[in-house]
């Protein structure tokens, strides 16, 4: 993994996110403060980085699309604020800090999430140097990923499954929505912005699905063996909430093997690309070494 490139892109994304928030000119400063609290709380910025990396893979310059990449990070942050609420996962900490509702109250946390989701689409539409039709395709990708057939639908399955032992098929369906859909949208959007061919887009879609699955499996593993100080949130929450995971439905060793096999499938999907997809290869291999 090229850590220099990773860090440079994080800096680029974070500078752009602050600019988009425009807190100093906000209509309601307290709302802007709540939005900024969660949006700028750190994190790997994995989804916007995937947008750029997918564009690189098809021969474009990924950093040209930081505007659209910021939009998907805003959608992701909204989902985290809402996931942490008492009516959902009821978490007190996120990335080592108190969750939004613990600082700003539940009502403002809900509205901050709503505001980030809504603003995200306006941010994406201001992406320069991209034909309007292409931006509409990207918006469609993001809307599907964030909606009832994507992230929200997956979250509902998750809620309805608490205290139940669900099948592996249902678990995959849940995480394809809750976690995988936004990864898929990030990678496909980056490819579309970069002018991908049909073959390139198909290969990157397969990669995206494998990436999302491997990410979720390793997330489930970390909930069992992770270090709370590193992860930034309590470990063992899945067990406490009686949730089915890849670990509980198989075993820790089997989950690790499934993660490794899925990463290999992702790498095979990139075989049609050359060195321009090196960053994507490094990103998916990194999942097997995650500690947060």
Give the range of the structural domain holding residue 120, as residue numbers without chain letter: 3-289
pLDDT value of residue 161 = 87
What is the CATH number for 180?
Answer: 1.10.600.10
pLDDT value of residue 162 = 83
d(CA 281, CA 263): 9
pLDDT value of residue 248 = 87
d(CA 221, CA 142): 28
pLDDT value of residue 36 = 95
Q: Are 95 and 233 in contact (CB under 8 A)?
A: yes
Q: 81 exposed, middle or buried (CB, 10 Å; 0-12, 13-18, 19+)?
A: buried
* Cα 23–chain centre separation: 24
Q: Containing H/E element for 97?
A: strand 97-98
Q: Could you give the angle at which helices 181-193 and 46-57 cross, rounded to 10 degrees? A: 40
Which residue bears the tokens 């990708």?
A: 141
% of the chain beyond a pLDDT of 90: 77
Q: Please tell me what DSSP assigns to residue 99.
A: -
Q: What is the pLDDT of residues 241-255, one digit of tens each?
A: 567 889 988 899 999
pLDDT value of residue 203 = 98
Q: Containing H/E element for 180?
A: none
The number of folded domains in the chain is: 1
Cα separations in angstroms, 223 against 46, 180, 216, 233: 19, 18, 11, 9
pLDDT by 10s per residue, the chain, length 292: 678 888 999 999 999 999 988 866 778 999 999 999 999 998 889 999 999 999 999 999 999 999 999 999 999 999 999 999 999 989 999 988 999 999 999 999 999 999 999 999 999 999 999 999 999 999 999 999 999 999 999 999 988 988 888 899 999 999 999 999 999 999 999 999 999 999 999 999 999 999 999 999 999 999 888 555 554 545 555 555 567 889 988 899 999 999 999 999 999 999 999 999 999 999 999 998 887 6
Q: Are 230 and 92 in contact (CB under 8 A)?
A: no
Helical H runs in 105-251?
Answer: 106-125, 132-146, 151-161, 168-175, 181-193, 198-225, 228-231, 237-240, 246-249
Q: Residue 290 — left, alpha, or beta (φ > 0 → left; ψ -120 to 50 → alpha)? A: beta
pLDDT value of residue 234 = 55
d(CA 171, CA 60): 36
């Amino acid at each position: 993994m090229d850590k220099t490139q990773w860090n440079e892109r994080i800096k680029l994304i974070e500078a752009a996110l602050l600019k988009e928030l425009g807190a100093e000119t906000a209509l309601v400063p307290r709302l802007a403060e709540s939005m900024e609290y969660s949006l700028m709380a750190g994190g790997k910025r994995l989804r916007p980085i995937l947008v750029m990396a997918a564009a690189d893979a098809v021969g474009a310059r990924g950093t040209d699309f930081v505007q659209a990449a910021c939009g998907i990070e805003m959608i992701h942050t909204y989902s985290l604020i809402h996931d942490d609420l008492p009516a959902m996962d009821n978490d007190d900490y996120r990335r080592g800090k108190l969750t939004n509702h613990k600082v700003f109250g539940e009502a403002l946390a809900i509205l901050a999430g709503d505001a980030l989701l809504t603003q995200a689409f306006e941010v994406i539409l201001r992406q320069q140097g991209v034909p309007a039709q292409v931006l509409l395709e990207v918006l469609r990708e993001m809307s599907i990923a964030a909606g009832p057939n994507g992230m929200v639908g997956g979250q509902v399955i998750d809620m309805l499954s608490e205290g139940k032992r669900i099948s592996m098929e249902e678990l995959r369906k849940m995480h394809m929505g809750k976690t995988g859909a936004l990864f898929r949208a990030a990678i496909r959007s980056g490819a579309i912005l970069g002018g991908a061919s049909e073959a390139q887009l198909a290969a990157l879609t397969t990669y995206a699905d494998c990436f999302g699955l491997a990410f979720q499996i390793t997330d489930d593993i970390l909930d069992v063996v992770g270090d709370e100080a590193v992860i930034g949130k309590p470990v063992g929450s899945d067990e406490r909430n009686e949730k089915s995971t890849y670990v509980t439905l198989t075993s820790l060793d089997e989950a690790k093997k499934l993660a490794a096999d899925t990463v290999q499938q992702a790498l095979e999907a990139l075989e049609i690309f050359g060195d321009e997809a090196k960053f994507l290869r490094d990103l998916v291999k990194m999942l097997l070494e995650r500690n947060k």
